[in-house]
Amino acid sequence: MTLTQTRTTIPEEARTEGLLAVVIGRVVGWTRQGANVVAGWARAVQGVVTPLGWAVIGGAIVSVAVGYTWGWIEFIAIGWGLALLAAAASVWLIGRGASTIELVLPTPRVVVGELAEARLVAANPGRRRFGGVQLEVPVGSRVIERVLPGLPRGGAYDDQFRIPTERRGIVAVGPARTVRADPIGLMRREIVWSQTVQLHVHPRTVAISALSTGFIRDLEGSPTRDLTASDIAFHALREYVPGDDRRFIHWKSTAKTGTFMVRQFEQTRRSRLMVLLDLEPGGYADEAEFELAVSAAASVGARAIRDARTLSFVVSGRGRSGSAPGSVMRELPTVSRDRLLDALCLVEPEEQSVMLPDVARSAAEGLPGVSLAFLVTGSARGVPTLRAAAARLPAGIDTVAVRCAPEGEASARSVAGLTVFDIGYLEDLRAMLARSASVA
């Protein structure tokens, strides 16, 4: 072999190897694409074929295989019959049944026990008339079923259904979906048309008297020893210095002295109202007591927000005694009444909840400036525990403990500086607060 022949042979072998690598790469790529397509079809078929349908398809395959293997005409006929049955069932899945379906929730917030409804609005702006189809709407743990009638061109369908509101909480409504299925139940195809909407079922509240009367006597705030140039509590007059606000010049004193005199004020500190809702299950005899406690705490919080008071609404956390304040207690939003009641829809007794005295101590450390505190719990919480919780709060705070026992006898008493209300109805809380305000 000459040197020239060697030089021409090596490039040909390299080109052959490169071409083989390209072919192998393309085959691998096509194989992966095919596997992805098959996987996608498998997922789609898996969501359409019911367990009964898979049994029929499996029976068809086995029957055909046995029949052709052993030459049994009967198995061949059964296999092809089952295959035709599955093919006929798939025909029922053709079509969508409507062009648009909307799920409308007119009122996103209701009070427990009030009437709540949702609307289903379907329309067909197309040219074809669609046949009837089954319509399903999950509502909480239930499923509302309707039969959507055939809609001609330009036709519309409007239906309403009730949403259960017997229990406080958040009810998930939707999504609205149409279901096409064959009469035997081999195939089932679902088409989702809308998003899931949420209905907030708020706890029941009662209108109570203004909390600034009686218990809280510093409506504008508590005056301090810090002096300021602009506030509410007047302190004294002093000579004007450059930079003072001219609106606070006292003209009568200025005319008498011949020198500009301005008013000087004591800086005030607005009081904070705290509502502490006990979530420890040991404080309640049953679920009805807890629901009454939630309603009582919500009533006090809603009134404080209405009065534009500084409010802190605290519930028990899951931390351990001695943990950080953020784990021992949890503060609910009080930006608005709806935000507070929305958060109370999700409040439930928790086995790992911190005991009431520990929560009170954590609240005292994390919420300065509290002047009035409501401790809301059940009838199983004894007075010694309530006194221990009140003792964890700073001195000078008026503390009211509200113990709830549905249909129980209402009473009010004072134990070592702690006011204890026992209520059986929400109206009892309103009457006791109004009586305390008039006495004060």
**pLDDT on residue 254:** 84
- Give 171's pLDDT tier (boundaries 50, 70, 90): very high
Ramachandran region of residue 323, left (φ > 0), alpha (ψ -120 to 50) or beta?
beta
Closest-CA residue to 421 (of 434, 431, 411, 430): 411
pLDDT of 115 strictly over 70: yes
DSSP state of 427: H
Other beta carbons within 10 Å of 70:
9
| Predicted confidence band of residue 5 (pLDDT cuts 50, 70, 90) | very low
Nearest to 357 by CA among 322, 326, 331: 322
State how far the Cα of 405 lies from the Cα of 277, in Å rounded to an integer: 15
Q: Which tops the pLDDT comparison, 299 or 214?
A: 299
pLDDT > 90? residue 235: no
Q: State yes or no: pLDDT of 29 exceeds 60.
A: yes
Token pair, residue 17, equals 């190897």
pLDDT score of 346 more than 90: yes
The larger pLDDT score, comparing residue 363 to residue 227, is at 363
284 in Cβ contact with 290 (< 8 Å): yes
Cα dist from 316 to 119, 158, 215, 276, 282, whole Å: 38, 45, 24, 8, 13
pLDDT score for 260 = 85
Q: What is the per-residue pLDDT for 102?
A: 86
321-342: pLDDT as tens digits: 454 445 688 999 999 999 999 9
At 85-94, the pLDDT tens digits run 888 887 777 6
> Which residues have C-beta within 8 Å of that of residue 420, sequence separation ≥ 6?
383, 386, 400, 401, 403, 412, 413, 414
Confidence bin at 309 (pLDDT 50/70/90)? confident
